[in-house]
Amino acid sequence: MPHSTVRRPWTRLLTTGLSVTLAAASLDGLAINTATLASSSLSPDCLEYRIIGVCYWLRCTPFGCKIKTSPKVRHYTPDSVVSSYSDTGANPWTEVALMSPTNPTARGGGDGTTNQAHENNLTKFKNADVIGHPGTLLFNRFASQFGYTCPGTGVPFQPYLLSTFDTLAWRYNLPEMLYPEALIPGQREIGSSPMGDLWGSVYPRGGFLEQVDDHKAAAVIAQRAGDIVTRRGQPHLYLPLLAMAYPGYWPAGELEEGDANSGKWQPLQPERSPTCVVFPHQAALPQAEDGAYVWGLWRPYQCCKREGQTFLGSSYFGQ
């Protein structure tokens, strides 16, 4: 595909996508809702569409066989919305809040405190919900203007993890408090102590964390939730957010902290952004007065258009 053809949509869509997303960002004072979340999927920065190589196919007809090629593309897809919030039953995404109500095993929430004003409250607790992103149809129309696109994994409004129903693991850290990653310092951490940017550890993957900064605590909890749903066979009550590979399609794999090649986060609440980040980062960390934060989890996919009956392989540019 000629280079000019690949880049042509950017000049037309960059302005459109950013204007729509930034328009949504001006509504920060309102509760997050489905319409706002759907519009957040129009982000060229998070999409990061690229042609990375060539796929080879064998096409056979009664008149013989030929080798055909198709571009191999890579882009991110908003698979899910991850909410990390203090008050049990109060998911800030208004239309889905009833999916995770309080129940006899999950009533309370918020931070630990001794009610002493002079003390820092280090212990944070957050609920976490991972729900399929509602902007799939809007995103597909937007992304298809760049070229051939890869199907994502998330099903709109599908709950993949609701921590209020994952009581034993989320509130008591069982059995994860016994895992080596939870017992050995320096294992699976978001940031690092020597670098001075340690936000917290991924394990144990539950709702409690010692972190004085509420935004950082919520981000660590969101990372834990994303870590769970992008793996199979975890000791939690959840649905895996994973797809099976097939010829010409390479879906996103396991989410890894600090690795944009495994996934990245779009801030949506308390302030919305048209760009994506990985944890930890140096961007501003707005504090939510109600302790409720929301991110869109974008995951990388690679694929190519089928041009024959048999997939022969692929090559990358520059290799």
**Contact between residue 124 and residue 209 where contact means Cβ atoms under 8 Å apart:** yes
User: Which pair of structure tokens corresponds to residue 148?
Assistant: 């051939």
For residue 300, pLDDT beyond 90: yes
For residue 15, pLDDT beyond 60: no
Q: Which amino acid is at 295?
A: W
- Tens digit of each residue's pLDDT (9 = 90 or more) over 95-152: 999 999 998 888 777 665 444 444 456 789 999 999 999 999 999 999 999 999 999 9
What is the model's pLDDT at position 106? Answer: 81
For residues 252 and 80, give the distance between their C-alpha atoms in angstroms, rounded to a whole number.
13
What is the model's pLDDT at position 46? Answer: 97
What is the model's pLDDT at position 26? Answer: 37
For residue 13, pLDDT beyond 60: no
User: Which pair of structure tokens corresponds to residue 256?
Assistant: 């890894």
pTM of the model: 0.86
For residues 36 and 33, give the distance between their C-alpha atoms in angstroms, rounded to a whole number.
5
For residue 199, pLDDT beyond 80: yes
For residue 86, pLDDT beyond 50: yes
For residue 245, what are the CA distances in angstroms to 50, 102, 136, 196, 209?
20, 37, 20, 39, 35
- Closest Cα partner for 73 from 304, 251, 252? 304
Query: What is the dihedral angle through the alpha carbons of 79, 85, 87, 93, rounded to the nearest 10 degrees?
Result: -40
Peptide bond into 270 cis (omega under 30): yes
Q: Which amino acid is at 228?
A: I
Rounded to the nearest integer, the mean pLDDT of the chain is: 87
- Tens digit of each residue's pLDDT (9 = 90 or more) over 247-292: 999 999 999 999 999 999 999 999 999 999 999 998 889 999 999 9
What is the model's pLDDT at position 12? Answer: 41
Percent of the chain residues past pLDDT 70, beyond the cut: 86
What is the DSSP code string of 252-268? -----TT-TTT-EEEEE
Percent of the chain residues past pLDDT 90, beyond the cut: 77
What is the model's pLDDT at position 121? Answer: 61
Q: What is the mean pLDDT of residues 46-69?
A: 96
Q: Which residue is it, tokens 């042609």? A: 51
